[in-house]
Amino acid sequence: MQVVEIVGRGGPACLQLREKPDPTPGPGGGHVADKAAGVNFADIMGRRGLYRDAPKGDFVPGYEVSGIVDAVGPGVTAFAPGDRVMGMTKFHGYASRVVTTENHLMAIPEGWDFVRAAAVPVVYLTAYTALIRQARVQRGDRVLIHAAAGGVGVAAIQIARHAGARIAGSCGSQAKVDFLRELGVEWPINYNTEPFDDFVRRELGAVDIILDAQGGDTTARGLKILEVAGRLVLYGIASSATERGRNPLTLLKTIFPLLKANPITLMAKNTGVFGLNMLNTWDDKPGLKMGFAWLQAAMASGVVDPVIDATFPLAKAAEAQGRLENRSNIGKVVLTVDG
């Protein structure tokens, strides 16, 4: 099978197309002929050596795929060869063949193609967990979504709108501001023309929920604009990413402001901070079952409607990651796999 492997740590040149033996599904596992794979910023963090949960040494990135089941391991009852499926992988998604467990797969809805399906699992389950399970979004809540034009951002907008929340979204260009308005964002914010916290104070006063993938100074400033009983969900530290990989000074600048979110400060301000890493929900079978059930219903009802920014063949994974790295994407970037 073909895979794209991260060899060493650093820039896009670390992504190399290689041939590997086909994997074999074990008990409870399914072997999927991969047709598409979602690209996430965590893939880039792993390539740069900034994702502590990534395997040591060379590894194949990728957390969400779609394809056709072509073999199952002992004990698998939910799926059979020939089924069209989408789901999560614990790395190894950038490949023409993947193995995952039946607990991490669901059927692709009727009428959905593989690209659209691969754009869903990780980003929508992240947004669902952050907004519904953790922040408990309610009708009328003012929700600030950072990186709102990206994959998780679009997912969060759709979920927040369905919940009846009012939405502010930060982004880095006028084109993205226009896009967010079309998605129903009431307050799109171009952070390159005005600091997001200044905008919030002027237009909203405060917010009830913040979804933050940046960390660092963005988090520290966000805590200051939370309403009483406000909730901030931190699901990434993208601000620590640099082309040079693991840079102690950059990491310090990212982590130090987070110390302001200590229990004493939070108690004094009556606010809360949640941390979220979807990879660490891998063994949460009840939570995953609940999440996939929600996802299936939301896809059927039209709440989930991924926006595809661009597709790239597997061999051009470096270009695909480049769109995310340069913050050029509006919506989801997906790799396509032949064979």
Residue among 95, 73, 71, 64 nearest 29 (CA): 73
Contact 24, 99 (CB under 8 A): yes
Say which CATH topology domain 123-278 has: Rossmann fold (3.40.50)
**Of residues 122, 128, 158, 150, the one with CA closest to residue 278:** 122
Every domain of the chain and the residues it spans:
2-120+306-336, 123-278
SS3 232: strand
H or E segment to which residue 142 belongs: strand 142-145
Q: Are 51 and 2 in contact (CB under 8 A)?
A: no
pLDDT for residue 257: 66
CATH annotation of 2-120+306-336: 3.90.180.10
- What is the reported pTM? 0.93
User: What does the pLDDT profile of the chain (339 residues) look like in tens digits?
Assistant: 999 999 999 999 999 999 999 988 889 888 899 999 999 999 999 999 988 889 999 999 999 999 999 999 999 999 999 999 999 999 999 999 999 999 999 999 999 999 999 999 999 999 999 999 999 999 999 999 999 999 999 999 999 999 999 999 999 999 999 999 999 999 999 999 999 999 999 999 999 999 999 888 899 999 999 999 999 999 987 655 545 555 555 556 666 666 767 788 888 888 999 999 999 999 999 999 999 999 999 999 999 999 999 999 999 999 999 999 999 999 999 999 985
